Amino acid sequence: MSGTQHTQHIDPRGPQFAASLTTAVLAAVLLLAPSPVGIALLAAQAVFFLIGALLGAQRTPWGVLFKRFVRPRLAPPTHWEDARPPRFAQGVGLAFAVVALTGYAAGAPAVGAVATGFALAAALLNAAFGLCLGCELYLTVKKLTARVSTPEPEPART
């Protein structure tokens, strides 16, 4: 880890467990969506994403649920994960949820559904394959946005 100062580590199965619940919620949203129940579920999930983006994935209700009820029943994790990538991914989820909510609110349910679909696909990939698209997006975004070439004095770490 490049910044070892206060790096928090979490059980990697936590975000994966949360992602499976997120997948279920978003599936329900897609099936119910233009109805108030669907919108309310989407809004609730958006709030969860917001909590995750601000405080970390382990602080969302899904994360707390995992810590209280699921983890005590599991064997200790074989490795720990940096808390920052899942937190970043929660922010990506939040972005999709906000676009989806805006779409539904603006009377464009197709936009809402597609944005929800992207968030669902990402959550499902995390839940089923342990693959974090939001985390991988980070380098891509950096590559596209960082125009100024960075000085490279200390290239290698051993």
Partner 1 sequence: MTTGAWVLLIAVVAAVAFGLWRAARDGRFRGTHKVAGALDEGEVSAKAGGRQIPVWEGIELGERATLLQFSSAFCAPCRATRVVLAEVASGLPGVVHQEIDAEHHLDLVRRVGVSRTPTTLILGPDGAELTRAVGAPRKALVLESLNALGIT
Total number of residues binding partner 1 (CB under 8 A)? Answer: 51
95-102: which pairs have CB atoms within 8 A and are 24 or more residues apart? 96/122, 97/42, 97/45, 97/46, 97/49, 98/46, 100/29, 100/42, 101/39, 101/42, 101/43, 101/46
CB atoms within 10 A of CB 7: 12
Q: Which residues between 76 and 115 bind partner 1 (CB under 8 A)?
A: 79, 81-82, 84-85, 88, 109-110, 113-114
Instruction: Name the one range near partner 1 by CB under 8 A: 43-51, 64-72, 90-98, 124-132.
Output: 124-132
Can residue 155 be called a binding residue for partner 1 (CB under 8 A)?
yes
Output 75 or 152, the one with its CB closest to partner 1: 152
3-state secondary structure of 89: helix
Task: Examine residue 31 and tell whether it contacts partner 1 (CB under 8 A).
Answer: yes
The reply on whether position 25 binds partner 1 by CB under 8 A is: no
Assess 116 for contact with partner 1 (CB under 8 A): yes
Does 5 sit near partner 1 (CB under 8 A)? no
| 37-75 as b/e: b if 16+ CB within 10 A | ebbebbeebbebbbbbbeebbbbbebbeebbeeebeeee
Q: Which residues bind partner 1 (CB under 8 A)?
A: 1-3, 12, 27, 29-34, 38, 79, 81-82, 84-85, 88, 109-110, 113-114, 116-118, 120-122, 124-125, 128-129, 131-132, 135-136, 138-140, 142-143, 146, 149-150, 152-158
